[in-house]
Amino acid sequence: MPGIDSLITNSLSKEIKNRLDKKVLHQIERKLFIKNGLSIRQSMMDFEKFDNVLKEFLGSGSQDLEKLCINQIYAVNGFEKNNVLVQIKNPNLIKFIMNCLGDEEIVKILDVPINQSYSSSEIQVKTKVPKSSLYRKIKMLVTNGLLVKTKTVVSGSKKVDEYQTIFNRLTINYQARGLEMTCHVDKKIFEDSSIVNVQKRFT
């Protein structure tokens, strides 16, 4: 399970690329591909591999860069029962989530597997979203991290994936400086993140 990695991969990889010297960026991209067959964006899903390559070029400064970039994307604002309160700070990520919430079918899909995982067929039964649209939107939501594949079960002779919404609750406040968004993320989902596990070394 990728934790919150899929949700922040695009934003974090762009933030890192923007803060690296172009020559160093090219060298890191080349080393990542030779060593792991990964682009910077792909390595966000297995953050330790990126972290190891970055250390080869920046040494102890790699941690400072990672910490700076991650802090531009999200911050942990506390804990509530079995949830981690994650403030989304990146404007493009906030915009993406808001756009998703503006889609009635996506909202129906996200509403079902809160706190509990369901298969796509179970979600379809509960939401009545047409199958073609449902499968396409579930794929998009998994790719972009708002849905997480939690397990694969055997149903008859078939393997069936089950999904859970990454947040149990979403709080949006309108401030003078813009929208403030906090995701109440299931603690287990949050701690499964490769980015979070590397980030633990910062403290």
| Interval 130-164: pLDDT, tens | 999 999 999 999 999 999 998 888 777 788 899 99
User: Same domain for 92 and 159?
Assistant: yes
Q: Does residue 185 sit within a domain?
A: no
Q: Locate 169 and state its tokens.
A: 């609750």
In this predicted model, what pLDDT tens digit does every residue of 166-197 receive, in sequence order?
999 999 988 777 788 999 999 989 999 999 99
The domain that contains 84 carries what CATH number?
1.10.10.10
Cβ atoms 172, 73 nearer than 8 A: no
User: Same domain for 84 and 162?
Assistant: yes
Q: Does residue 104 sit within a domain?
A: yes
DSSP state of 113: T
Q: Which domain holds residue 153?
A: 79-168
In this predicted model, what pLDDT tens digit does every residue of 23-62 receive, in sequence order?
999 999 999 999 999 999 999 999 999 999 999 999 989 9
User: Same domain for 63 and 100?
Assistant: no
- Specify the number of domains making up the chain: 2
